[in-house]
Structure 1
Amino acid sequence: MQFADHEIQSIHKVTKAFSPNTELAVAKFEAGQCQYYGARHGNKGVEQIDNRASVFEIGSLTKLFTNAVLAQMVFEEKLALTSPITSYLDLTIANNEQITFKSLATHTSGLPRLPPGLLWQALFKRKNNPYQAYLEADLLAHLANDIKINRAKKHNYSNLGVGLLGYVLAKIEGMNFTQLLQKRLFEPLNMSRSFCNWRDVHGELVMGLNKRGDPTENWDLGVLQGAGAMLSTVQDLGQFMKAHFDDIHTWARLQRQVLFKQGHIQMGLGWYVFQGDKQSDTVYFHDGGTGGYSSVMIMDVENRAGYIILSNISGMHKLKGQKVTELGFELMRKLKGF
């Protein structure tokens, strides 16, 4: 089960569309078996490389891991999805608002996409590392005083929400977020090259590129690590995808269960779910982006198939969604014969 010519051509086409030093690492699952392909835009065009063990920021794919921990803790009866987070942690939330674990996981809490003031930081003061200075004291102060809950819109994608979820889960377990993922996912799934801080990376860390194609800083997520702090490899992320295929992990089954529907939007715990007429048509998806990287994970559990794409294409690039995210869907459609 090698990469087909059309897959390689599609990967090269995307790589070539961006600046020199652009790099894509791709993992492909078919019938549960995994293969890897890497491409880099070099001085002489696009060349094949072996970057399966190279480390990239994965951005919002981190949310899948935060929600996997949530699913584990639900099965261990350490918490209930429908319970308010204030039932497990001494938090003050403005107007005594009730925010449940389920609502944070499915982006239905009514929380804004970003904390108050962070957009200004991102645009002007800390545009190369916008979350760096947003720490625990800021989060607690904003929850108590400044947070505006919007109940009018049922689904509102929120980095603040999933960042808060990761913070609460770690506090309940009495450890920091890095320790939480290390204990519950990285070690059990043998993900030895996955990290929550770029300073901890051992091995090759691929240099992130900004939207102009120039080297850029790695991100620090401050207190909102659960929303997007992870760095990993396609090899390690393949272990996470394989855990969904193995059907031995109760947490994985819960994570894929559809818990929210609104029009064409369906969500499990972190996963966006696209359902066709048959069970075999169901696809689970998420993508991610930071200032220097973008990523995609898409899988068909019934047929044990899927793709993981990591790149150093900026998540701020105007073509990121059209090129990187769409590449994941294009490869998946062709693999499934659509």
Structure 2
Amino acid sequence: MNINSKLITSLGTNDNKISNYNLNALPDTEGTLSNIEDLSKFAITQLDSKNKELELTRQTTFEIPKYNIGVGLAWKIIKPDSKHTWYMYNVGNEGYYSIIALDILNKNRTIILSNISAFNKNARNINQLCLELMKPQY
């Protein structure tokens, strides 16, 4: 099966359409493909308190108390207020940018997959949108 025929066209730094990477060239870094179904399953697994091994990835390893943020093994840890902790992970390359946010205590999640470059001037808006989408869940 030709996976490239199923990929959404990606947009570069100047909103120009760009061709997808040769996924066989760097299989360990760029060869991983995902979709909303996969990430939803991943999020649900993260929210399940029975998965103690996944809790290890969310333990704080570095903190910046002044800004109410920290870093875990795999997550940015954001404390928007004294009652909530959000775990966020974002990733991007020249053609795609994605973010996932979890609130383990309240079992909430937001996932955004986009076809804009991580270097596009609008990529930061994806993070802001994710934060805004987390807020109404309380």
TM-score interval w.r.t. the shorter chain? 0.7 to 0.9
Which residue of 57, 73, 82 maps to 1:277?
82
Structure with max Cα Rg: 1
Consecutive unaligned residues in structure 1, runs of 5 or more: 1-198
Runs of 4+ aligned structure 1 residues displaced above 4 Å come to: none
Deviations 1:266-325 (A, max 9, x none): 1111101113323xx11101212211111111111111111100011121111210x211
Which residue of 98, 101, 105 maps to 1:302?
105
CA contact (8 A) 2:102 2:108 kept: yes
SS at match of 1:235: helix
- In 2, the alpha carbon distance for the partners of 1:294 and 1:248 equals 30
User: 1:277 is matched by which residue type in structure 2?
Assistant: S
Matched, 1:312 2:133: no
Consecutive unaligned residues in structure 2, runs of 5 or more: none
Query: RMSD of aligned C-alpha atoms?
Result: 2.4
- Identity percentage of aligned residues: 29
Q: Give the TM-score normalised by the residue count of structure 1.
A: 0.36
**Higher strand proportion, which one?**
2
Q: Which has the higher contact order (CA 8 A, sep 6+)?
A: 1
- In 1, the alpha carbon distance for the partners of 2:128 and 2:90 equals 10
Q: Hey, what does 2:6 align to over in structure 1?
A: 204
Matched, 1:266 2:94: no
**Higher helix proportion, which one?**
1
- In 2, the alpha carbon distance for the partners of 1:293 and 1:248 equals 32
Q: Hey, what does 1:183 align to over in structure 2?
A: none
Over 3 Å counting, the alpha-carbon distance change for 1:248 and 1:274 in structure 2 is same
- How far residue 207 of structure 1 moved from its aligned partner, in angstroms, is 1.6
Q: Give the TM-score normalised by the residue count of structure 2.
A: 0.82
Deviations 1:84-110 (A, max 9, x none): xxxxxxxxxxxxxxxxxxxxxxxxxxx
- In 2, the alpha carbon distance for the partners of 1:262 and 1:230 equals 31
Matched, 1:257 2:52: no
User: 1:247 is matched by which residue type in structure 2?
Assistant: S
Deviations 1:226-262 (A, max 9, x none): xx65320011101110011111212211111112223
